[in-house]
Structure 1
Amino acid sequence: MSNVPGITLNNGVTMPQLGFGVWQVPDEEAPAIIGHALDAGYRSIDTAAAYENEKGTGKAIAASGLPREELFITTKLWNSEQGYDTTLRAFDTSLGKLGLDYVDLYLIHWPLPMFDRYVDTWRAFEKLYAEGRVRAIGVCNFHPAHLRRLLGEASVAPALNQIELHPNLQQEQLRAFHSAHNIATEAWSPLGQGRGILNDKRIGAIADKHGKTPAQVIIRWHLQLGNVVIPKSATPSRIRQNIDVFGFELDAGDMTAIAGLNTGTRLGPDPDTQDWVG
């Protein structure tokens, strides 16, 4: 059984605070890699139509033998499918690839404000939610301006916003907006894609102090901030290490030191200008 704590979303649905991301996992490798994660105790799996591994994810779920109600499966609508009718068709496609009757969380992958379709897209999300085909609905990469518009026009508030968030991009203002509106914060690229953060001397010193790896320290930092976090690895030993973060706690000095790493540096695109629909 998993020892990962849950967080309760604004509609009462509970999801694991620590999950497993499958971005850049090839579809043919997904069953084995996700199988390692499920064996290690992960119960939340985060995929997306754009990752092109929903079929492999579905195979891993089927092969696990785990009861469906023990799993929390997230997928995302890709940019080219935004719009009311296209969203409904895209959801059916994703559900078919996953081989599931429902998903636990469905997310709009990017706001694409220049195309102005995310409100119509959200109405389709609300329909899927009302029909019980999705247990919770949310967004990715939405700035406060996008969220304010959605909150002003929606019948159902987003349960979660998945954003780029790591020690070099700590997103304090956006996290504060989430907190004020009861929207959960989920971090993608929580380890900064390994670009320097894992080798930072301050992270290394904290890791040595606790007898943990730098990745474990950063994941623990996310958890103590209250973030949902979805680290990805294809290496079985690291998959196990990344979930072994509940036997220690960072102290105030550790948290302050990591707060000092914030540079506001993005690894991914700016949601205000991301316009890729290919």
Structure 2
Amino acid sequence: MASAIELGYRLIDTASSYGNEREVGLGVRDSAVARDQVAVSSKLRGDDQVAGARAGLERSLDDLGLSYLDNYLIHWPLPSLGRYLEVYGELMAAREEGLIRRLGVSNFLPEHLTALYDAYGEWPAINQIELHPYFPQQALLAWCQERGIEVQAWSPLGRKTDLLSNETVTTMALAHACTPAQLVLAWHLARGCAPIPKTDSTERAAENLAAGSIRLTGREVEALASLERGRIGGDPATHVEM
């Protein structure tokens, strides 16, 4: 983690359910970069929607060894629980206390986001969703951007698929003299979406960061979006995470 920060990463993403908050926090604290120059995000796990959002947040802060989170997201709406509206209100109070800088959500659909707005008069700052060329989320991305909601992409490289060996991707990458992963990350950036790639390799992390210098044409962006196949993760309308 400290090496990623030294490379130039300034957004560090984790979640209670990932089981690595202690390691992430240690990396942030060991970095030579000042804390206020690194944005740290974590997410409220499903069972804490029932057990208590405040307790879940405090546990994450304790595990991370931090006094506040730059971004804190409700990991899944879990509509079958019917708790996400109340949970959002609890986290708004924690934001007022300075424990959270920006409050957001993950895997929320327009109906969930609209319910939050109707209840509290604000849109979440962030919606982190599954998004990659095999699932480009054209409608949801545009919907969020129209309302000023920052869209972040989990699984931006289409994990456990053949996306990075897809002929359209590899041909386009060759034309740009970059790797397929760099090309796909550049596609996200061209659409105004922040990709959250995962890697344990310092070399690959450096390669991913270099994707910011790649410029795609509108036609190339459309060509990659046309590869749509569907989700590889859970459907937010029915997903259960506890």
Q: 1:247 to 1:173 in 2, by over 3 A?
A: closer
Paired residues for 1:1-150 under 5 Å: 34-83=1-50, 86-150=52-116
- Please state how far the C-alpha of 1:154 moved relative to its aligned partner: 1.6
Q: Which residue of 2 aligns with 1:207?
A: 173
Length-normalised TM-score, structure 2: 0.97
SS of the residue corresponding to residue 198 of structure 2 reads coil
- Say whether the 8 Å CA contact 2:13–2:196 is kept in structure 1: yes
- Say whether the 8 Å CA contact 2:127–2:149 is kept in structure 1: yes
- Say whether the 8 Å CA contact 2:6–2:32 is kept in structure 1: no
SS of the residue corresponding to residue 45 of structure 1 reads strand
1:28-58: CA deviation from partner (whole Å, max 9, x where unpaired): xxxxxx1221121111100000001000011
Indicate the RMSD between aligned Cα atoms, in angstroms: 1.2
198, 209, 215: which one pairs with 1:243? 209
- Paired residue type of 1:274: H
Q: Which residue of 2 aligns with 1:269?
A: 234
- Please state how far the C-alpha of 1:194 moved relative to its aligned partner: 4.8
Q: 1:121 to 1:178 in 2, by over 3 A?
A: same
1:67-111: CA deviation from partner (whole Å, max 9, x where unpaired): 11100000000000015x711011111001111111000000000
- Paired residue type of 1:217: L
Q: Which residue of 2 aligns with 1:183?
A: 149
- Say whether the 8 Å CA contact 1:103–1:133 is kept in structure 2: yes
Cα distance in 2, alignment partners of residues 35 and 56 from structure 1: 10
Q: Which residue of 2 aligns with 1:27?
A: none
SS of the residue corresponding to residue 116 of structure 2 reads helix
Cα distance in 1, alignment partners of residues 191 and 92 from structure 2: 29
- Please state how far the C-alpha of 1:236 moved relative to its aligned partner: 1.6
SS of the residue corresponding to residue 82 of structure 1 reads helix
Cα distance in 2, alignment partners of residues 77 and 60 from structure 1: 21
1:244-277: CA deviation from partner (whole Å, max 9, x where unpaired): 12322112332122122122x1111111111231
- Say whether the 8 Å CA contact 2:95–2:101 is kept in structure 1: yes
Cα distance in 2, alignment partners of residues 141 and 247 from structure 1: 28
Cα distance in 2, alignment partners of residues 112 and 98 from structure 1: 25
- Paired residue type of 2:57: F
- Say whether the 8 Å CA contact 1:77–1:91 is kept in structure 2: yes
- Which moved further from structure 2: 197-206 or 146-155? 146-155
Cα distance in 2, alignment partners of residues 78 and 246 from structure 1: 31
- Paired residue type of 1:266: R
- Paired residue type of 1:169: F
Cα distance in 1, alignment partners of residues 226 and 40 from structure 2: 34
Cα distance in 2, alignment partners of residues 182 and 214 from structure 1: 30
- Please state how far the C-alpha of 1:155 moved relative to its aligned partner: 4.4
Cα distance in 1, alignment partners of residues 22 and 212 from structure 2: 31
- Please state how far the C-alpha of 1:149 moved relative to its aligned partner: 0.8
- Say whether the 8 Å CA contact 1:207–1:217 is kept in structure 2: yes
The answer to which structure, 1 or 2, has the higher relative contact order (CA under 8 A, 6+ apart) is: 1
Of all paired residues, the percent bearing the same amino acid is 37
Cα distance in 2, alignment partners of residues 166 and 223 from structure 1: 11
1:122-169: CA deviation from partner (whole Å, max 9, x where unpaired): 011100111111110000001111111111002442001000000011
Length-normalised TM-score, structure 1: 0.84
Cα distance in 2, alignment partners of residues 260 and 122 from structure 1: 35
SS of the residue corresponding to residue 174 of structure 1 reads helix
Cα distance in 1, alignment partners of residues 188 and 154 from structure 2: 11
- Say whether the 8 Å CA contact 1:75–1:106 is kept in structure 2: yes
Runs of 4+ in 1 over 4 A off after TM superposition: none
